[in-house]
A and B are shown apart, each in its own frame.
Chain A
Amino acid sequence: MSALKIERGASSHSAYDLRDYHAAGEERHTLSVIVDNEAGVLARVIGLFSGRGYNIDSLTVAEVDHTGHTSRITVVTRGTPAVIEQIKAQLSRIIPVHEVHDLTVEGASVERELGLFKVVGSGEKRVEALRISDIFRANVVDSTLESFVFEITGAPEKLDAFADLMRPLGLAEVARTGVAALARGH
């Protein structure tokens, strides 16, 4: 027997706080990555995910600081805790990456997604679609006699629920932006 006593995952000194690597099961994490807005940076991030076999559930990117030329990439991914840690470490070593935040573990955050839903139909179904859109506080951004385009902003689950309800009512096309997210408070 060893004279050494140290608990697995007991290191609290590292920036790479050890999590329980033996926990099975995948988790969904929202990562917020600040990068230099330069040519190819998105390809580097996406290439990392595809090259190392990580999942991307959604990904959004836009310049957020025009003077500093930085963009925020919000990527929703899933994996075991070990894989999530590895994804963060791998992201952090891409040279144009400034910061990597795991919004899922760094305290409360807000997540929003915008979706456009085209619903085609007439009569009873059309009325029902409009009624439901009201409940969801969707905006009608385009309408013809046979169709609506609804705009809705919310958590991804809300958009999923809206799509589910619209499907039998003539949901024809969907465009979604993917998740944008920020930590709450400061």
Chain B
Amino acid sequence: MSRSMTGARMVVEALRDQGVDTVFGYPGGAVLPIYDEIFQQNDIKHILVRHEQGAVHMAEGYARSTGKPGVVLVTSGPGATNAVTGLTDALMDSIPLVVLTGQVPTFMIGTDGFQEADTVGITRPCTKHNWLVNDTDSLAETIHRAFHVATAGRPGPVLIDIPKDVQFATGTYLGPKQIAPSRYQPARKGDADAITRLVELIETAERPVFYTGGGVINSGPAASQLLTELVDATGFPVTSTLMGLGAYPASGKSWLGMLGMHGLYEANMAMHGCDLMINLGARFDDRITGRVADFSPGSIKAHVDIDPSSINKVIPVELPILGDVGHVLEDLLKIWKARGRKTSPALQQWWAQIEQWRARDCLAYKPSDKLIKPQHALERLEALTAGRDRYITTEVGQHQMWAAQFLHFEGPNRWMTSGGLGTMGYGLPASIGVQVAHPEALVINVAGDASWLMNMQEMGTAVQFRAPVKQFILNNERLGMVRQWQQLLHGERYSQSWSESLPDFVKLAEAFGCKGRQVHDPADLDDAIREMIDSDVPFILDVLVEKHENCFPMIPSGKPHNEMLLGDEIAADDIGSAIKSDGAVLV
């Protein structure tokens, strides 16, 4: 039934009809009517952030850990521009968000009004789609469409800019079922012939590998289950990108670990030497391919992706399948089973080869009983939290890569990290978003000292909303990843990569009204981690780690997979010359 109401009321009504339970936001002049409506209801919880970038990352954490779109509400001008980094992050990582921004009244648009910014213009390249709503009658429809666009096909952030007069004016509210179906309906079923072709390849491949990505997570938990079934039934090795961790359980027998620049040796060698590569929802990112011309030279490549622009963008493939990875896996399994579940006997040799690569133990590091090695800290975190339904977020840098290497994920939606944009400052707010969605769960942000400072104001949000997030800071007093690159590529000239004047994180925790602890002795580490895990208030654990540890293995930029740098191969003195400078122009 359609009802008459103000635009501001419509916003709340439409969010409720879309099943939204939480909004992350920050008020200001251009959204006051909406905030007034939020005040007068109890269905939707509003999380007051400390900075709009934090709101967007929280919504990302909420979205990635629930599979539902995250919702953000901010004011015009600076509120909207502060959201831009988060929008870009969500676009790169295919995270569904609906961001509502206030705007100056329609009659003032274009006059450089107070807190006016061309929000749709600024955010056009960093949203999947955006709208400026000019009249109240189209507001409800636009919001419903926005939820559809954000979640259908390849998910992404959308933005609705709502001028203040549109919020005040009265119009007709339409519910989600009252609007005409959207023209935007990306195909979900894959082409049956192409899937059969893939089954034929699976039946005869001698050195196959599944290369899975964030698309499996995007597709929903069913896709992860189907993937696990297919991998276990075929016995094919499986690797994943940073974004896809957890889609196949790390304890599964076919798991090779993450691939790519800081991925595992066995995973990268398998990618390089395979004869059949089955890409499921991954996008051949440059952290994966290394030098494109030498990428997996002898393989037939199949690519299942819902976005036509992902296919053949970087690596030309022989067998593209356009569709939702969950649907395609379902059909694939059916056909493969119906044809007799065949695989090649040569698979055994392939595994024997992989085991040899695995025996290389590429994650080995020099242990220490005097200093906490960051890898060791993560191994202990893993050991002390294993078996718990645990959510991990990260910041960006070495600690992020170590977390991906040393923590194990048994299911999807448990790992939130900024992959495509690599946004320092993502992890703390994301952890709050996850915790808000899962109040009882153990949520840990694995952080570096420098990244953590970028959005540390959000500790206030965590304390206010009793979100007992655990901040696990691997403190090397360095911009560690930058320092590593300077060591490898810039003659060990450590230009501006020191964290000077770091705050006392324990006092900082106290100042925010939560708990903190510092640990530097490996002997105290377990106890400190336990205290952190058991805390029922937000907790900052400042882990002082080895300052100049490098993150290996590493495929230097511009190198192929089979030219990885392994940590124990490089003598400390040679590190500066380990990479030839031709890769230095790449990032």
Residue ranges of A at the interface with B (Cβ–Cβ < 8 Å): 2-4, 6-11, 13-16, 18, 21, 39-40, 43-44, 47, 51, 82, 85-86, 89-90, 92-96, 98
Contacts and interface: CB of A to CB of B under 8 A. Distances in A.
A86 B316 CA distance: 11
Given A43-B121, A47-B124, A93 B318 contact: no
Contact of B124 (A18, A43, A98): A43
Contacts of A16: 308, 311-312, 320, 322
A48 to B, nearest CB: 8
Contacts of B121: 40, 43
A6 B308 CA distance: 22
Given A47-B124, A95-B129, A4 B205 contact: yes
B197 A4 contact: no
B121 to A, nearest CB: 7
B318 A6 contact: yes
B124 A89 contact: no
Nearest to A20: B316
Contacts of A90: 309
Contacts of A96: 129
Interface string B311-324: 11100101111100
Nearest to A36: B183
A126 B128 CA distance: 55
Contacts, number: 95
A4 B204 contact: yes
Interface of B: 120-121, 124-125, 128-129, 132, 149, 153-154, 183-184, 191, 193-194, 197, 201, 204-207, 275-276, 298-300, 307-309, 311-313, 316, 318-322, 344, 346
A22 B299 CA distance: 17
22 contacts: A2-B207, A3-B206, A3-B275, A6-B300, A6-B318, A7-B318, A9-B318, A13-B193, A21-B312, A21-B316, A40-B124, A43-B124, A51-B125, A85-B312, A86-B309, A86-B312, A89-B308, A90-B309, A92-B308, A93-B154, A93-B309, A95-B129
B320 A10 contact: no
A89 B201 contact: no
A93 B186 CA distance: 9
Contacts of A13: 191, 193-194, 197
Nearest to A38: B131
Nearest to B132: A39
A82 B322 contact: no
B325 to A, nearest CB: 16
Contact of A18 (B149, B154, B191, B320): B320
A9 B313 CA distance: 14
A11 B128 CA distance: 29
A13 B317 CA distance: 13
Nearest to B183: A98
Contact of A10 (B124, B318, B344): B318
Contacts of A44: 124
B313 A86 contact: yes
A2 B201 CA distance: 11
A47 B125 contact: yes
A10 B197 CA distance: 11
